[in-house]
A and B are shown apart, each in its own frame.
Chain A
């Protein structure tokens, strides 16, 4: 008899459990959430609004080298504006048609030993962003190499790539793209008294 009663009660309990999980809505469990921004990046336990940046720290192992000689120079964008060098699509090769412009830039530098040069490499809008940032740098470095062959000391030349972020022509056709694939040359003068 005792075993029978135990059996009945077990069967009853099983039936009740099945009925409860299968048919009725048990009250939901509660998940408390942290503050709005926290916990959304693994290991992050902070919270709330992100603080504003505090400026550029100068301490630590940050690597900055090679640009000190170019600090505080005055940019003359007009002097070499007519000697912009243009490139073929997806290419950083300096074409022979561009040699006259490079010669003019080299002459300007040889006639003014105190001057330095900034080469700005640019791309058309075709191609992805970082690909163009690298291609623009390759273009500015190609012009620096070509100028070195014309006798310009590479240590007087600084390069910067703007990728496709600084088009001269905002158009979306072949003519605009051809204008935008370019190296602009900026003459750098020391500040008076420097």
Chain B
């Protein structure tokens, strides 16, 4: 009896130790990942292997994971082994090779195989990083034909599933999502003047919310969806204004003789950041959403800053700097030195504040690119035609 009892204690102790060892190695991996994150442009990608999928589905998974900081290696070299199939429907699993532990096993039904692959990619990102992925998100952008006329389009974040939402055959510009809604604000010259439209994409109904004499453009919706910042020139020069979401209660925030452009909101809704000119120098500045004094935001080493976009987590401001070429820069929102992370312009943050979509000149036309700001891994999205620019990521 006694020997049996001792034996059972040994077994239990062995299992207990094994469990501790297993958890410890997983914790080690998590610590390593945590330490690597948040270094702009210098983080090493997470090596994964992909097996068992068709070429089409593998390319969807590779795109989704590459622009979220993963690299693709052989199963032997992988930290996480991803395998599965897509005959009939997408099913897959993820194994943590070091911990020898399956961290995800799931299959998907409904919609398209492509959408199922995006859903699997989101689950992979969540299982490995603990962060919500971006594979099932939407973007809006401008598609310009030769001659300058264009339309506003909406597509999946990777450029697939694109659909024109305007048919104005005129200059269009600056789409902006109403947070959490299938609805856009954008500029169209359709009335013979650059006016700001509100367009409910669910019903197809749209109307002008700002059509004053002169320029009405660059709508940006507050994080709670209740207010819209924009550029109007009706008081004599292009200034930052705000109004309610329905186009009422207009209030002028800036009163400079210069040309302000591209307002964006801080995620707490207290500040509006924009581009302007102070003492003959192009700068970024911010102003309280209730009005007040204009405060300059220094961008040391990044001249001619325009097109700011505040990350949804509040940590970063991405913007375009022009130093010969256009460069995408990211700086801490509280101030600091900007980091150049890509050649391109007009960045827009993903909902999870890790990825940017921006415009890039490639072979005589503009195309959209998706960029993981920590690994600098970047890929062009599927191009529609002509020039694709002014991307806005739905949040």
Are both chains from one complex? Answer: yes
Contact across chains for B248 and A50 when beta carbons are under 8 A apart: no
Q: Is the C-beta of B110 less than 8 angstroms from some C-beta in chain A? A: yes
Q: List 22 A-B contacts (CB under 8 A).
A: A29-B105, A33-B111, A36-B112, A41-B180, A41-B394, A43-B181, A50-B163, A53-B167, A53-B204, A63-B247, A65-B212, A66-B214, A66-B234, A128-B322, A128-B346, A129-B346, A130-B218, A133-B194, A134-B215, A137-B215, A137-B237, A166-B148
Contact across chains for A30 and B109 when beta carbons are under 8 A apart: yes
Give per-residue flags for B187-222: 1 if the beta carbon is below 8 A from chain A beta carbons, else 0.
000111111010101111111111111110110000
Contact across chains for A58 and B207 when beta carbons are under 8 A apart: yes
Q: Which of B40-48, B253-261, B333-341 touches A?
A: B253-261
Contact across chains for A130 and B307 when beta carbons are under 8 A apart: yes
Residue of A nearest to B234 (CB): A66
Known contacts A50-B165, A53-B199, A129-B389; A67 and B261 CB within 8 A of each other: no
Known contacts A22-B22, A56-B191, A67-B193; A31 and B119 CB within 8 A of each other: yes
Q: A40-B156, A130-B173, A137-B237 are in contact. List 17 more A-B contacts (CB 8 A).
A: A18-B15, A21-B102, A25-B93, A33-B109, A33-B110, A40-B137, A50-B202, A54-B204, A61-B247, A90-B282, A131-B259, A131-B261, A134-B215, A134-B231, A135-B259, A135-B261, A141-B236
Complex Cα distance A160/B250, Å?
21
Q: Is the C-beta of B161 less than 8 angstroms from some C-beta in chain A? A: yes
Known contacts A36-B115, A40-B394, A138-B258; A61 and B209 CB within 8 A of each other: yes
Q: Is the C-beta of A11 less than 8 angstroms from some C-beta in chain B? A: yes
Interface residue total, chain B, C-beta cutoff 8 A:
104
Report A-chain residues with C-beta under 8 Å of the C-beta of B102. 21, 25-26
Q: How large is the interface on A (under 10, 10 to 19, 20 to 34, 35 or more residues)?
A: 35 or more
Residue of B nearest to A65 (CB): B212
Complex Cα distance A40/B11, Å?
50
Q: Is the C-beta of A49 less than 8 angstroms from some C-beta in chain B? A: yes
Complex Cα distance A158/B11, Å?
88
Complex Cα distance A65/B180, Å?
31
Chain B residues near A (Cβ < 8 Å)? 1, 4-5, 8, 11-12, 15, 18-19, 22, 91-93, 100-102, 105-112, 115-116, 119, 123, 136-138, 144, 148, 154, 156, 161, 163, 165-167, 171, 173-174, 177, 179-182, 190-195, 197, 199, 201-215, 217-218, 231, 233-234, 236-238, 243, 246-248, 250, 258-262, 275, 282, 304, 306-307, 320, 322, 326, 345-346, 351, 389-390, 394-395
Complex Cα distance A68/B322, Å?
39
Q: Nearest 8 pairs between A and B by C-beta?
A: A66-B213, A64-B211, A51-B204, A57-B207, A165-B148, A134-B259, A28-B105, A33-B110
Complex Cα distance A31/B201, Å?
27
Chain A residues near B (Cβ < 8 Å)? 4, 7-8, 11, 14-15, 18, 21-23, 25-37, 39-44, 46, 49-67, 90, 92, 126-131, 133-135, 137-138, 141, 158-163, 165-166
Report A-chain residues with C-beta under 8 Å of the C-beta of B203. 51, 54
Complex Cα distance A39/B163, Å?
17
Residue of B nearest to A133 (CB): B217
Report B-chain residues with C-beta under 8 Å of the C-beta of A23. 100
Report B-chain residues with C-beta under 8 Å of the C-beta of A60. 207, 246-247
Query: Contact check: which of B106, B190, B210, B233 meets A30 at CB < 8 Å?
Result: B106
Residue of B nearest to A57 (CB): B207
Complex Cα distance A165/B102, Å?
54
Complex Cα distance A39/B111, Å?
11
Contact across chains for A40 and B109 when beta carbons are under 8 A apart: no
Report B-chain residues with C-beta under 8 Å of the C-beta of A44. 180-182, 202
Complex Cα distance A60/B243, Å?
14
Complex Cα distance A57/B190, Å?
13
Contact across chains for B208 and A64 when beta carbons are under 8 A apart: yes
A107 to chain B, nearest CB (A): 25
Report A-chain residues with C-beta under 8 Å of the C-beta of B204. 50-54
Contact across chains for B171 and A165 when beta carbons are under 8 A apart: yes
Report B-chain residues with C-beta under 8 Å of the C-beta of A131. 259, 261-262, 275, 282, 306-307
Report B-chain residues with C-beta under 8 Å of the C-beta of A4. 1, 4-5, 8
Complex Cα distance A52/B105, Å?
39
Known contacts A31-B109, A39-B136; A46 and B207 CB within 8 A of each other: no
Contact across chains for A29 and B106 when beta carbons are under 8 A apart: yes
Report B-chain residues with C-beta under 8 Å of the C-beta of A33. 108-111, 115-116, 119
Report A-chain residues with C-beta under 8 Å of the C-beta of B119. 31, 33
Report B-chain residues with C-beta under 8 Å of the C-beta of A133. 173, 194, 215, 217-218, 231, 261
A118 to chain B, nearest CB (A): 10
Contact across chains for B19 and A18 when beta carbons are under 8 A apart: yes
Contact across chains for A61 and B180 when beta carbons are under 8 A apart: no
A5 to chain B, nearest CB (A): 11
Chain A CB within 10 A, most for which of B154, B246, B259? B259
Complex Cα distance A129/B358, Å?
13
Known contacts A33-B115, A165-B171; A22 and B231 CB within 8 A of each other: no
Report B-chain residues with C-beta under 8 Å of the C-beta of A158. 213
Contact across chains for B182 and A137 when beta carbons are under 8 A apart: no
Complex Cα distance A160/B12, Å?
80
